[in-house]
Amino acid sequence: MRSIKSVLVLVGILQLILAAGFFFQQPWATSLWPVPDTRLSYAFIAAILAGGAAPLVWIGLSEQFVGLAGYGLSFGIMYAGMALSALLFYLRMQQPALLWFALIIGVAAALCMTLYFRTRDHVQDSQPTPQIVRLVFIAEVLVLAGAGALLLLKVPNTLPWNLSPESSVLYGWVFLGLAIYYLYAVLKPQWIHALGPLLGFLVYDLVLFSPLFARFGSLQPEHILGQVAASGIIIISAALGVYYLFVNPATRLGARSVLRRS
């Protein structure tokens, strides 16, 4: 258990370092992304990496390993879809970066699915997920799945900034994977399964807040609707996360994880 705990925390920290590299557009980080992209896209990648790191660090520190089931399933599907898409792009474009990306992300998908199958049958926490959290998660599933489908279909202006066709498809798998993370928490309404997505989305919100809201002064007309929708989602999810993770006595992090085991 101690070795698993250390691995989770270490992987989470490495993801946070990589997220910082993307956020500040460091060449050593952005060169890992297989297609050229924009500043806001790199901030989005940073937010996804940081949001994915937060549950790993929390699960490692709290030793609530059953929380890895939803994480492993959602990120496993996300990474598998991204790997397959990158491989298809490589066959069409013959760019080595796409092949390397497909191989690395494919390995990550296999590791995540292993996490799912190893933890899905662990004893679950009996504390139920608050009803308001479940209702918001259902709405999140619909929004994320809808946005993911539109991105996979390369529908323009789904996100409030310009995307290449390749980035649109890769981001589509990100949104579909996150939808599955929330759906898993809805179908298994124990707080242990909701805490990870809630924490991850809060960190995602914090990373993307500044670069996204800074765009309000220079929006193109076709991006206004997407900007308003994305901003509203960030505000609502952040408020929900702050209340249930840090204010509500029954669900706040100190009550349920690290402090309980000290």
DSSP character string of 237-258 = HHHHHHIIIII-TTTSHHHHSH
d(CA 69, CA 121): 9
Distance of CA 163 to the CA centre of its chain: 19
Q: How many CB atoms lie within 10 A of CB 19?
A: 24
Torsion angles phi and psi, residue 36, rounded to 5: -60, 145
d(CA 216, CA 161): 12
Q: Which residues are within 8 A (CB) of 132 and not within 5 positions of it... i.e. 6 or more apart?
A: 240
Q: How many CB atoms lie within 10 A of CB 174?
A: 22
Per the structure, the complete domain to which residue 84 belongs is given by: 2-261
Q: Name the amino acid, one letter, at 260.
A: R
d(CA 124, CA 170): 33
Distance of CA 47 to the CA centre of its chain: 8
d(CA 183, CA 179): 6
Structure token pair of residue 38 = 């924009």
Per the structure, how many domains does the chain have? 1
State the DSSP code for 31. Answer: T
d(CA 39, CA 57): 27
Per-residue pLDDT 10s for the chain (262 aa) are 567 889 999 999 999 999 999 999 999 999 999 998 999 999 999 999 999 999 999 999 988 888 899 999 999 999 999 999 999 999 999 999 999 999 999 999 999 999 999 888 776 567 899 999 999 999 999 999 999 999 999 999 999 899 999 999 999 999 999 999 999 999 999 999 999 999 999 999 999 999 988 888 788 888 888 888 889 999 999 999 999 999 999 898 866 443 344 3
Predicted pLDDT of residue 127? 87
Predicted pLDDT of residue 5? 87
Q: How far is CA 194 from CA 86, 108, 133, 261, in A?
A: 30, 23, 8, 20
Structure token pair of residue 71 = 């994480």
> How many residues comprise the chain?
262
Predicted pLDDT of residue 124? 59
**Residue 72 · residue 108 · CB < 8 Å:** no
Q: What is the 3-state secondary structure (H, E, C) of 225-240?
A: HHHHHHHHHHHHHHHH
d(CA 235, CA 214): 15
Predicted pLDDT of residue 225? 87
